[in-house]
Structure 1
Amino acid sequence: MRRALSAGLALAVVAPLASGCFAEPSPHDAVSEFLVGWQSGHFDEAAERADGDPKVVRKALEDTGLQLDAASIRFSLKGLTTNGDTADAKFHVQVDLGDNNPLWQYDNHLPLHLVDGRWKVRWSPSVIHPELREGQRFAVEVSTEGRQPIEDRNGDPLQKEATLYVAGVYPARVKDPVGVCERLFHLTGFAQDRLLSRIRSAPPQDFVPLVTFGGRKYAQLRDRLDEIPDLTVDKKSQPVAPAEPADIIGKVGAITPETEQQLGGPQRAGDTVGQGGLQKAYQDQLTGSTGTKVITYDLKTSEPVAELAKWPGRSNTTSVKTTIDKGVQRAADLAVSGTAPATLVAVKASTGEVLAVGAHEMNQELDALAGKYPAGTTFSIVAAEALLRAGVDPAQKVPCPADRTVGGARFQQTSVPAGTSPSIRAGFAQGCVTALASLARRVDAEELSQAAAQFGVGVGWSLPLRSFSGTVPRATTDAAKAKIIAGQTVRVSPLTMALVAGALASGTWRPPTLVTAPAAPDSSSEVAPAPPPRPIPVDPTVLDGLRGLMRAGVTAGNAAMAAAPGGDVYGVAAALTYTVKKRPADLAWFVGWQGDIAVAVLTQTPNATAAAQIAGQFFRATSTTSTTPAG
């Protein structure tokens, strides 16, 4: 972001000089008028106080600001000595190079002498800078490193090569820089004065990127860009296209007039900007580090003469390391690639690390991590923890009728299980909503709330992306408790339920982890993660009972299609219809685990077994997949 010069800054020089009310032939007025005229942009007034050709002096002072692309140049007087007809003024210079670069500061002096009774600055280019000579100019060299990668848990990049087109110029070859910038402004909307200042301040022989285009935009504008004299388009292949999970990784695009204004410095044309996902959340850390040098160049040869100042790039630039496992991700992508919209979240049960987020016609961030869906009877996992602690026996007889009313709330089981004994275990395995709802009288509301918190539902965990830990309403009646047990009034994300399964698999609920380094996005990010809550052990007195219920869901329940080789699968499935924008919508859930991989599958279909079938495909694909420690 460029810093502007305020009008009041001129007083910084005027005040100490005017206090003495000196008149000619004192040199004070000459020093003041020269420096204030230069600082305020009144170059004619400054030139009048120099002994050189006024046109030459004026142009030299004006060109200094242009060649440095300076937002402001400020001076402060440090001392003045007089010796007969000569004098010398020491002063300090602060040049604001803009674009969030540090101030360039240096000391210099003004030699003065009497010319026809008036004090004049003895003109030479060294008045501007002690190392500037005749036939030389300033230039600002900007070097940008490439965008840092987002990596999986093994350090492999999670982006693919994509082609960007960078339009720019070589300043020494441009005959009409004003015309080039005017035509680019009409094509792209980039501010004409900013484009021109970049050309004027750049090293003469260096390629200066002005505007970057993606492939589609370049194809639209190619013919018109080709018509602009002295404009060069550099085709660059960069690893910016997201690999899966693409919504989580995020797209990367070229800087636009809007994003350039929003981001400020040090981004420039030719840089890239994250447009979503982790690329956007970690933009500051991922974007190429920009280094800056102030150099003098020979006007005739365009060769560099001396380096006057140098600033390294920002030290916080780093890659982003995630917990994503490419093998598990491929299995998730394959499993959800059916016809119905679906998403699958896989976590490492023993750590809470997110291994994969698959999605088909759903969004991996907005639906899988941050979706707010009714849990259906999969929430009976959580309710069962409270029921078992209350002493309820899973073998207790509880019928599964087609219709039941609890506390005035009506529950219907669309497909009554056949050939099963009427018990709590069977009701859990089959997802019988009428049987489960009837248990509301066996547990109080506080116990349900505590059970939800034990499994992280509604607990304050978050990720560097949008995420949702769930909500459980307050229950003051049996009807309200029954709706919670049946998962009708509970809202969760697939990530929430994958963590619930991970808690049962490992014996401890753990908050999710998606990024292992850096610790958090820059504070300017839209979403900053809160400190994670501590892991919560599952009550060991009920853990085996809960695992038994989950195993029954696969061996004798509606999650049977999740069975796969490579170890026992535990899980529960559910199907429900709920209202979205006054229209009914069908959902099918599976929540469970195999080994150390816990998953939640959500699919939008009336097929009650579809989610379990997706889980089975996933487990079969991952039966030989091993995950390595993150980092």
Structure 2
Amino acid sequence: MRNGAKIGMVSGVLAVVASGVGYGAYNIWTGLNSSGGGSGTSSTTQAAPVRTGPPTDDEISSTAKDFLTAWSDGDAEKASQLTNNAGDSQPLLAGYREDAHVTKVTLTPGAPTGAKVPFTVEATLSFEGKTKPWSYSSSLTVVRGLTTGRALVDWDASVIHPQLKKGDTLTTGEAKAAPVKAVDRNNIELTKEKYPSLGPILDAMRERYGSKAGGKPGIETYIEKSSDGASADTAPAKTLVVLAKGTPGLLHTTLDARTQAAAETAVKKFDESSVVAVKASTGEIRAVANHRADSFNAAMQGKLAPGSTMKIMTAAMLINNGVASEKSPVLCPSEAIWHSQTFHNLDNFSIAGGTLETSFARSCNTAFIKPLSKLSDLHVADTALPSTAKKYFGIGEVWNVGIASADGSVPETTGPNTAAAMIGQGLVQMNPLNMAAVTATARSGSFHQPVIVPRSMLDGAVATAQPLPYNTAQQLRDMMHTTATAPYGTGTVAMSGVGGYKGAKTGSAEVDAQGKSNSWFTGFSNDLAAAAVVQSGGHGGDAAGPVVAAVLAAGS
């Protein structure tokens, strides 16, 4: 009974201290003055041992209840002191009322699963005479405080709302941007509901073009992204509730609803997959789709080694430098060494008496590394590929696509990295948008920087590059056509259902500490070019190939 009496006394003191100097003072008081549970006759007060180990079921339930009660009462200070990070939690908890304009909230805890407690939120939002109910679910986790031993809510911004991240703010007021009604090239409306992959893209378009397209903002509750993290372009404000609708502006895009629908369906067959399709003769983006665990637009913003799809540019470089040509014999041994680094072909295959065309179609790595000795004699081994990528394919220029995108990178290298770059490994980085543009350049003979809105809507100029020499472009098309049609072509199976004049290139990119390589595939049919990546998808023709083929079949 001694312990029970002591808890009662502390509770009594709590009521007085909390009302006098604030809840934070109680934390200090209990840490310094708690009794060790002695007889009470000693004049020396000893601190109680700090509790260790996971929180008990009772602690989890009571801590969650106390935190949710303080939060719902609007006592941000008290609620923050029940977390393990009062400094970060207090501003968000206070902002829930002050910035998000929540006038009433009911927080109902559910049954805990271990230390995790789910809860539901029933709130009312009010701003300048506009009100709206708001319901959602979230969760919190209770942990043992490292220094105090108290059971505390393990603070994360997602406790407030599951879509909040560190540094984000929750705001109700005039929307950051006017809404848009985005339409495809045939004036078909594009919505997130019908085309889920376009969700983040439509948000980005709204952020950049809402007012420019003639729209007027409404009243919304939204998540404003941290200025310390992604920029507004890469992570626009996220609308959660619309209290009063704005007036949408009409935004014309270069997308094609039919091709977009095919891309959406195709990527769903593989986890962590992305695809982009562009019109080869103009650079107009016809489709962008992602199927990922996150909402990242990897199709346009990813940065990955492209594997053997890089051989399109490598082949152009070899032809332009007079080192090889489509029909010229090239060596394709099972392995090649450059600067003491050994490079292999898949399953160590080799080709006897082959040409550049057969090595391209069968994706022989060593055939694209062995010519480095000749390039070295010309004193361009480390610079020829980056120069070709920038001069003819626009890789290395700053692209102005219309929304945020990552530019491809083929940097100058030395040593083994030079050989790795020839086959799309090492320091080379691309995404499906970049590789679709590379294929479009090979198909049309000239680089047309991809755009997703009419060029008249863009702020600033687009990137440019020189046309490929006619003979070089023709040889690239021939080799890609062979890859997509010859019995030995690595892209033939995937492209079998694609009509028209077609071409392809496969790629498999190895990634450190990843058991399975990334699957890459790029191809064209008539005037449409497309590229896809499936992370951990294996061989290029197995996963990314069917994605590209489905898009080309629908859009070409």
Q: So what's the TM-score if we normalise by structure 1?
A: 0.51
C-alpha contact (below 8 Å) 2:490/2:506 kept by paired residues: yes
The match for 2:509 is: 576
Matching of residue 492 in structure 1 with residue 430 in structure 2: yes
Residue 622 in 1 paired to residue 529 in 2?
Answer: no
Give the 5 Å matches for 1:198-347.
208-211=129-132, 213=134, 241-242=192-193, 243-250=195-202, 269-270=219-220, 318-347=249-278
Alignment of 1:466 onto 2:404: yes
Output aligned runs, 1:100-139, within 5 Å: none
The answer for unaligned runs of 5 or more in structure 1 is 1-180, 197-205, 222-237, 253-265, 292-312, 521-528, 624-631
- Deviation readout 1:489-509 (Å, 9 max, x if unpaired): 211111111000111111210
Q: What is the letter of the counterpart of residue 451 of structure 1?
A: T
- Separation (CA, whole Å) in 1 of partners of 2:356 and 2:100: 74
Contact 1:342 1:361 in 2 (8 A): yes
Say what the alpha-carbon RMSD is for the aligned residues. 4.2
Equivalent in the alignment of 2:472:
542
Q: What amino acid is the match of 2:447?
A: W
Q: CA deviation at 1:421?
A: 4.7
**Aligned counterparts of 2:291 and 2:511: Cα–Cα separation in 1:** 21
Aligned in 2, Cα 1:421/1:390: closer, same or farther, shift over 3 Å? same
Give the corresponding residue for 1:361. 292
**1:597 equivalenced with 2:504 (yes/no):** no
Match of residue 388 from structure 1: 319
Q: Distance in 1 between matches of 2:450 and 2:294?
A: 18
Q: How does 1:34-183 map to 2 (within 5 A)?
A: none
Q: Secondary structure at the match of 1:578?
A: coil
Distance verdict in 2 for CA 1:613–1:216, change over 3 Å: same
Measured against aligned partners, the alpha-carbon deviations of 1:553-575 in whole angstroms (never above 9, x if no partner) come to 11231111223343022111012
8 Å CA contact retained: 1:182, 1:192 = no
CA deviation vs aligned residue, 1:43-63 (integer Å, no higher than 9, x gap): xxxxxxxxxxxxxxxxxxxxx
Q: Does the CA-based 8 Å contact 2:273-2:532 persist in structure 1?
A: yes
Look up the SS of the partner of 2:330 in the other structure: coil
Q: Counterparts in 2 of 1:488-527, with a 5 A limit?
A: 488-489=425-426, 490-516=428-454, 519-520=457-458
**Per-residue CA distance 1:298-321 (angstroms, 9 max, x = gap):** xxxxxxxxxxxxxxx99xx73333
Q: State the one-letter code of the partner of 1:546.
A: L
Other structure's SS at 2:388 match: helix
**Cα distance in 2, alignment partners of residues 274 and 249 from structure 1:** 17
Q: Quick check: which has more Rg, 1 or 2?
A: 1
TM-score by length of 2: 0.57
Distance 1:488 1:207, change over 3 A: closer
| CA deviations over 1:428-472 (Å, ceiling 9, x no partner) | 111111221112223323332221102111211133433112112
Q: CA, structure 1 residues 497+398, in 2 after alignment: closer, same or farther (shift >3 Å)?
A: same
Distance 1:192 1:514 in 2: 35
Shift of the 519–362 alpha-carbon distance from structure 1 to 2, 3 Å rule, reads farther
SS in structure 2 opposite 1:346? strand
Bigger strand fraction: 1
Mapped partners of 1:390, 1:353: distance in 2: 31
Q: Unaligned stretches of 5+ in structure 2?
A: 1-71, 77-92, 104-126, 139-158, 161-179, 182-190, 205-215
Tell me, yes or no, if the aligned pair for 1:472 and 1:491 is still in contact at 8 Å.
Answer: yes
Q: Which residue of 2 aligns with 1:399?
A: 331
After TM superposition, give the deviation of residue 347 of structure 1 in Å: 0.8
CA separation of 1:184 and 1:322: change in aligned 2, threshold 3 A = farther
Q: Secondary structure at the match of 2:520?
A: strand
Q: Which amino acid aligns with 2:503?
A: Y
Distance 1:193 1:613 in 2: 46
Aligned residue-pair number: 367
Q: 1:496-528 deviations in whole A, cap 9, x for unaligned?
A: 1100011111121011111238825xxxxxxxx
Question: What's the offset of the Cα at 1:332?
Answer: 1.1
Query: By how many angstroms is 1:423 displaced?
Result: 2.2
For 1:96, the equivalent position in structure 2 comes to none
CA distance in 2, matches of 1:288, 1:340: 32
